[in-house]
Amino acid sequence: MENKIRALSEEILGMKHRLAHFMNCEVSDESLKPLRDSIQEKQTRLLEMIGDSNESNNEK
């Protein structure tokens, strides 16, 4: 589980770097919406994975 959490966290970080790059290029907000939405979805999934991991650790 830790490897999956780490991989997803790194993927989100890369997407945020890409978003920052596009924002510096003055790309329209409308064209950045899919990337922002994808980042939000992945962050939500990451938080769920962390929560699941914490629950399984508490059960031990």
Could you read off the pLDDT of 17-55 as tens digits, one per residue? Answer: 999 998 888 888 899 999 999 999 999 999 999 998 887
28 within domain boundaries: yes
pLDDT reported for residue 29: 87
Does the predicted model carry a pTM greater than 0.85?
no
Indicate whether 56 pLDDT > 80: no
What whole-number distance in Å separates Cα of residue 48 and Cα of residue 51?
5
Task: For 4-15, write each residue's pLDDT tens digit.
Answer: 999 999 999 999
Total count of domains within the chain: 1
Between CA 43 and CA 21, with CA 18 as vertex, the angle to 5 degrees is 135
How far apart, in Å, are the Cα atoms of 54 and each of 2, 42, 58? Answer: 11, 18, 6
| Among candidate residues 53, 46, 49, the one with its CA nearest the CA of residue 16 | 46
Whether 60 maps to a domain, the answer reads no
pLDDT over 80 at 60, yes or no: no
Range of the domain at 12: 2-55
